[in-house]
């Protein structure tokens, strides 16, 4: 399959490389000039899209997605499929879906979960929205880049699933970090707490698969100085998207709102920018109740 891939950052580059490694012809473009292993380089996003059966985008936000789509959609061959793997607001996903549909293209919004580790390993989870036919066309590519793809509904449903998932993740990571910080002050060893909680009712992905305490549980960014697998900046972005969506539909999300406020303080006022989102643990461990 000929694939155009636009956005070769920390997530996009390994995703594109996995597609090329699987034998697909991948032509990529990134505004910053970054490249990916096995991926040919285009001079523009429109050039990457020309003649492609599927065009995949992995971009920072909804405004950039809309801008790129305005360049890419006219360059695409009628009947091709545009797959956006960015995490953006639901409104932007639906606007681009409408643009693509009017141009005779298929569209899938398919944000991912799994971070850079999952992108490199090809174990991402895709949460997809769009027409069934477009999802079916993209499904073989999801199988290469990830371990699971769920068709969640019409256009925008993938973004809805992603922001709901990450609102849970942000809140549970904070709670996990708070528990470790409390355990420290109560004199409970972190390993002992993990041994209990990881097999008890406090079980969660944040505890069991991505433990924020160095040297405890499976290997995680905590064991690498909190170099980001999933940056706190990106968690803040997703939590803000969740609150934007909640406001738009009049949903009461108090825990999501608190998580967004805490990550905003951590990233914008403290030292959280550029660190993994689990670095909330040393932040909390160093603080008192005041």
> pLDDT by residue (tens digit) across 184-211?
999 999 999 999 999 999 999 999 999 9
Whether residue 176 sits in one domain with residue 130: no
The domain that holds 272 is classified in CATH as 1.10.1040.10
Whether residue 253 sits in one domain with residue 174: yes
pLDDT at position 117 is 85
Whether residue 97 sits in one domain with residue 55: yes
Tell me how far apart the 2 most distant CA atoms of the chain are, in Å.
64
Confidence of residue 111 (pLDDT cuts 50, 70, 90): very high
Burial degree of 287 (CB within 10 A; 0-12, 13-18, 19+) = exposed
Domain count, the chain: 2
Domain, as residue range, for 207: 160-286
Domain's final residue, options 154, 177, 196: 154
Contact 85, 15 (CB under 8 A): yes
Q: Which of the residues are catalytic?
A: 162
Angle at 187 between CA 182 and CA 193, to 5 degrees: 65
pLDDT reading at 88 higher than 90: yes
pLDDT at position 59 is 97
The C-alpha atoms of residue 186 and residue 70 are separated, in whole angstroms, by 56
- DSSP assignment of 174-224 equals HHHHHHHHHHHHHT--HHHHHHHHTTSTT--HHHHTS-SSTTSSS--GGGG
Whether residue 140 sits in one domain with residue 7: yes
- pLDDT, tens digit, for every residue of 221-276? 999 999 998 899 999 999 999 999 999 999 999 999 999 999 999 999 999 999 99
Record the pTM.
0.89
The C-alpha atoms of residue 126 and residue 109 are separated, in whole angstroms, by 9
Whether residue 203 sits in one domain with residue 117: no
């Amino acid at each position: 399959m000929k694939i155009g891939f636009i956005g070769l950052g920390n997530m996009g580059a390994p995703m594109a490389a996995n597609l090329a490694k699987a034998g697909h012809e991948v032509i990529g473009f990134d505004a910053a000039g970054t490249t990916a292993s096995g991926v040919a380089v285009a001079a523009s996003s429109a050039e990457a899209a020309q003649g492609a059966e599927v065009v995949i985008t992995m971009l920072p936000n909804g405004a950039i997605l809309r801008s790129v789509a305005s360049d890419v959609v006219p360059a695409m061959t009628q009947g091709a499929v545009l797959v956006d793997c960015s995490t953006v607001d639901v409104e932007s996903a639906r606007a681009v879906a409408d643009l693509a549909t009017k141009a005779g293209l298929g569209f899938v919004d398919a944000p991912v979960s799994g971070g850079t580790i999952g992108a490199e390993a090809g174990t991402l989870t895709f949460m997809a929205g769009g027409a069934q036919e477009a999802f079916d066309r993209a499904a073989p590519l999801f199988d290469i880049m990830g371990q699971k793809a769920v068709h969640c509904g019409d256009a925008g449903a993938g973004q809805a699933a992603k922001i709901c998932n990450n609102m849970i993740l942000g809140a549970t990571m904070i709670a996990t970090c708070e528990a470790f910080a409390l355990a420290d002050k109560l004199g409970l060893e972190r390993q002992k707490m993990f041994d209990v909680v990881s097999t008890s009712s406090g079980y969660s992905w944040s505890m069991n698969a991505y433990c924020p305490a160095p040297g405890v549980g499976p290997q995680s960014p905590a064991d690498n100085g909190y170099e980001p697998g999933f940056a706190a900046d990106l968690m803040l972005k997703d939590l803000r998207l969740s609150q934007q969506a909640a406001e738009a539909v009049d949903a009461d999300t108090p825990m999501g709102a608190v998580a967004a406020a805490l990550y905003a303080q951590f990233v914008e006022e403290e030292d959280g920018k550029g660190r993994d989102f689990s670095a909330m643990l040393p932040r909390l461990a160093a603080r008192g109740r005041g």
